[in-house]
């Protein structure tokens, strides 16, 4: 938690953001507009991974049901649009309110347990949400439903342009990174990180850990819901696939791959995972196997993920 | 009025009575040592005082109000702090951060999400003062996980002191340290004598007899004697149950 390390992570995040900002230029030079589409997907997952890192990396809460919040976000877009409400802000607000309520109730119950039981109970709640949406026949049930249009921004349909949508998503990611970074460095963040380090000690100096963990859990759920709103807009389609437990697992992968407890690592993890997925898919349909091997090697040789590798390289050079 | 009163505390783990009708009054400002052979139930007793364990029956009062069923954090806010026999710090935090967090617990809300806590001078200043007094003033930015054992023990004490307690429960603060380091530690505790009420569990008899105003002897969960160090030293029952063993061995 020393100052230079934290500073390094902010620099890393800023470099990632600069890279993203230049991506449309690269796409234009390479004459490959699809890059911007993938880019927006990466950004949306980056938000979700960032949100999960806040509780997994800093609060030691391994939520295996975080895809539920992606689902709340995605279905907020589909359901509200059906009723003629198309504003992006309102979609996000609805997604956040529902997610906050769900996170508050399920978090309060889940936090009565620890370790593997916490993982299992969050998985169970996630699956409940999954099955709820598979039975929502008005919105396609299992198959999901297409969106007639993307959310509108201040009454205009500028988000239909992939380029505009990309930069709006980037702006949201940057804002949420800044928010998460401030939270981690705040009084609240120090208590939360302390709980990860040693919950008994935190109690013994006068903090009731669960209140802080629950608050972080709710914040994380709300941020993930925003990612869900953006993801639905990016795909112009919503389905329960957003909520499956595979998706929750992928979010954990991203955080671990990038280096848990670093924020910028979560974003790097989202980039790496989706780029690898797209790239490996070209070579082999068994890309998930290759991906599994990469992850095993990573956990074995760099438990702190990509962040750990970069930090080691930097130290070696200086 | 006594600062801390234990009324007839009982706790059993299955058939084993770890705390057996313990009654005790700790007076304001005194250092009250609890000694006893291994397995006598000393740490279990401390855990009931600090709230990690709840007694099966009996009552604990702090300044006259019943705290038997308060959670550990609530007791800290009433002024009851503890240190652990096995060092329990935040290994990934610096020394300063460990203590600043304990200061934070008693100064204002911690549901603040934006201000940078590392830049809160009042927290850092209060933490520094405690660390200077515990000889850790030159180790502020070292990660707690990288400290030596003796430094760990001092950090453990510093964290407990930083919560600004009126009663401090010390569970073998000298465990694993000896010689000049132990003497220095005893001095630091003695310096606080009178300002702070302390319940001290310790195996180092030299430290106990140097520090304690009164001593209680715990054997198989029962207090068999309470008195001044001199009384305890000459009590035949105590010699038989405890001190004698040590001399014999």
Kindly state the helix (H) or strand (E) to which residue B98 belongs, with its residue range. helix B95-105
Å between B102 CA and nearest CA of chain A: 6
Note whether A188 contacts B: Cβ–Cβ < 8 A. yes
**Which residue has better confidence, B240 or B209?**
B209
Note whether A3 contacts B: Cβ–Cβ < 8 A. yes
* Contacts of B150 by beta carbon, 8 Å cutoff, 6+ apart: B177, B181
Q: Do B93 and A193 touch (CB under 8 A)?
A: yes
Given a cut of 90, whether residue A299 has pLDDT beyond it is no
Q: How high is the pLDDT of residue B178? A: 82
Q: Do B71 and A203 touch (CB under 8 A)?
A: yes
**Which range scores top for mean pLDDT: B9-18, B93-102, B228-237?**
B93-102
- First vs last C-alpha separation in chain B: 41
Joined tokens for residue A267: 């974003």
Instruction: Tell me what the mean pLDDT of segment B201-221 comes to.
Output: 91
Report the residue of chain B nearest A178, measured CA to CA: B114
Q: How high is the pLDDT of residue A177? A: 97
Q: How high is the pLDDT of residue A318? A: 63
Q: Do B117 and A183 touch (CB under 8 A)?
A: no
* Contacts of B229 by beta carbon, 8 Å cutoff, 6+ apart: B208, B209, B212, B214, B215
* Banded model confidence at residue B235, pLDDT cuts 50, 70, 90: confident
Q: How high is the pLDDT of residue A85? A: 95
For B139-184, write each residue's pLDDT tens digit. 999 999 999 999 999 999 999 999 999 999 999 999 888 888 899 9
Q: Do residues B62 and B75 touch, judged by C-beta distance below 8 A? A: yes
Instruction: Tell me what the mean pLDDT of segment A192-205 comes to.
Output: 95
For A248-289, write each residue's pLDDT tens digit. 999 999 999 999 999 999 999 999 999 988 888 888 777 778
Q: Do residues B197 and B189 touch, judged by C-beta distance below 8 A? A: no
Alpha helices in chain A (DSSP H): 3-29, 34-56, 67-82, 88-110, 115-134, 162-184, 187-197, 199-204, 209-235, 245-258, 264-283, 287-301, 305-317
**Which residue has better confidence, A212 or B179?**
A212
Least confident of A173-182, B31-40, B92-101: B31-40
For A167-187, write each residue's pLDDT tens digit. 999 999 999 999 999 999 999
* Contacts of A63 by beta carbon, 8 Å cutoff, 6+ apart: A52, A55, A56, A110, A118, A119, A122, A217, A220, A248
Q: How high is the pLDDT of residue B154? A: 94
Q: How high is the pLDDT of residue B246? A: 52
Domain-wise residue ranges, chain B? 1-79+165-249, 92-164
- Among the partner residues B76, B104, B113, nearest to A204 by beta-carbon distance: B76
Given a cut of 60, whether residue B248 has pLDDT beyond it is no
Q: Do residues A177 and A267 touch, judged by C-beta distance below 8 A? A: yes
**Within 13 Å, how many C-alpha atoms sit on residue A183's CB side?**
26
Name the superfamily (CATH) of residues B1-79+165-249.
P-loop containing nucleotide triphosphate hydrolases (3.40.50.300)
Q: Do B117 and A190 touch (CB under 8 A)?
A: yes
Report the residue of chain A nearest B115, measured CA to CA: A186
Q: Which of A285, A286, A256 is nearest to A273 (CA)?
A: A256
* Banded model confidence at residue A76, pLDDT cuts 50, 70, 90: very high
ipTM of model: 0.89
Q: Do A187 and B88 touch (CB under 8 A)?
A: no
Instruction: Tell me what the mean pLDDT of segment A51-59 comes to.
Output: 96
Q: What is the mean pLDDT of chain A?
A: 93
Note whether A4 contacts B: Cβ–Cβ < 8 A. no
Given a cut of 50, whether residue B249 has pLDDT beyond it is no
Q: How high is the pLDDT of residue A238? A: 96
Question: Domains in chain A, ordered, with CATH?
Answer: 3-313 (1.10.3470)
Q: How high is the pLDDT of residue A287? A: 77
Instruction: Tell me what the mean pLDDT of segment A95-124 comes to.
Output: 96
Q: Do B97 and A1 touch (CB under 8 A)?
A: yes
Q: Do residues A255 and A56 touch, judged by C-beta distance below 8 A? A: yes
Q: How high is the pLDDT of residue B204? A: 85
**Which residue has better confidence, A107 or B178?**
A107
Q: How high is the pLDDT of residue A278? A: 85
């Amino acid at each position: 938690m020393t100052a230079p390390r934290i500073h390094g992570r902010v620099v890393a995040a800023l470099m990632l953001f600069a890279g993203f900002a230049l991506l449309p230029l690269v796409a234009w030079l390479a004459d490959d507009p699809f890059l911007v589409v993938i880019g927006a997907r990466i950004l949306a997952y980056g938000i979700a991974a960032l949100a999960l890192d806040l509780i997994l990396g800093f609060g030691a809460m391994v939520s295996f049901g975080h895809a539920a919040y992606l689902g709340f976000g995605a279905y907020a877009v589909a359901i509200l649009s059906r009723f003629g409400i198309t504003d992006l802000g309102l979609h996000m607000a609805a997604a956040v309110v529902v997610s906050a309520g769900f996170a508050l109730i399920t978090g309060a119950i889940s936090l009565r347990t620890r370790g593997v039981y916490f993982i299992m109970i969050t998985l169970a709640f996630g699956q409940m949400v999954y099955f709820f949406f598979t039975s929502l026949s008005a919105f396609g049930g299992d198959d999901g439903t297409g969106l007639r249009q993307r959310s509108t921004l201040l009454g205009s349909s500028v988000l239909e342009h992939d380029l505009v949508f990309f930069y709006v998503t980037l702006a949201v990611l940057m804002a949420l990174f800044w928010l998460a970074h401030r939270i981690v460095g705040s009084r609240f963040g120090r208590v939360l990180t302390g709980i990860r380090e040693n919950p008994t000690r935190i109690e013994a100096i006068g903090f009731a850990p669960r209140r802080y963990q629950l608050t972080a859990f709710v914040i994380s759920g709300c941020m993930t819901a925003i990612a869900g709103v953006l993801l639905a807009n990016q795909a112009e389609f919503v389905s329960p696939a957003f909520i499956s437990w595979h998706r929750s697992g992928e979010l954990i992968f991203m955080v671990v791959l990038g280096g848990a407890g670093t924020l910028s690592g979560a974003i790097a993890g989202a980039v790496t995972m989706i780029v690898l997925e797209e790239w490996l898919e070209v070579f082999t349909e068994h890309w998930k196997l290759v991906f599994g091997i990469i992850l095993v090697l990573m956990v074995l040789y760099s438990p702190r993920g990509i962040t750990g590798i970069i930090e080691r390289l930097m130290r070696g050079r200086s | 009025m006594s600062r801390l009163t234990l009324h007839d505390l009982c706790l059993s783990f299955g058939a084993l009575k770890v705390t057996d009708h313990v009654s005790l009054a700790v007076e304001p400002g005194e250092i009250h040592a609890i000694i006893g052979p291994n397995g006598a139930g000393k740490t279990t007793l401390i855990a009931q005082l600090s709230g990690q364990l709840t007694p099966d029956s009996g009552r604990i009062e702090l300044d006259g109000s019943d705290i038997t069923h308060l959670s550990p954090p609530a007791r800290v806010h009433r002024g009851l702090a503890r240190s652990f026999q096995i060092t329990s710090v935040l290994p990934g935090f610096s020394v300063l951060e460990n203590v600043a967090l304990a200061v934070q617990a008693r100064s204002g809300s911690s549901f603040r999400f934006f201000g940078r806590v590392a830049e809160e001078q009042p927290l850092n200043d209060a933490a520094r003062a405690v660390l200077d007094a515990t000889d850790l003033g030159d180790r502020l930015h070292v990660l707690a996980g990288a400290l030596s054992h003796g430094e760990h023990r001092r950090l453990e004490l510093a964290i407990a002191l930083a919560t600004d307690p009126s009663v401090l429960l010390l569970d073998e603060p000298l465990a694993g340290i000896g010689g000049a380091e132990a003497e220095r530690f005893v001095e630091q505790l003695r310096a606080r004598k009178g300002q702070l009420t302390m319940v001290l569990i310790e195996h180092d008899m030299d430290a106990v007899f140097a520090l304690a105003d009164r001593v209680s002897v715990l054997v198989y969960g029962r207090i068999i004697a309470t008195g001044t160090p001199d009384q305890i030293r000459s009590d035949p029952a105590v010699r038989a149950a405890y001190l004698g063993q040590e001399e014999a061995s």
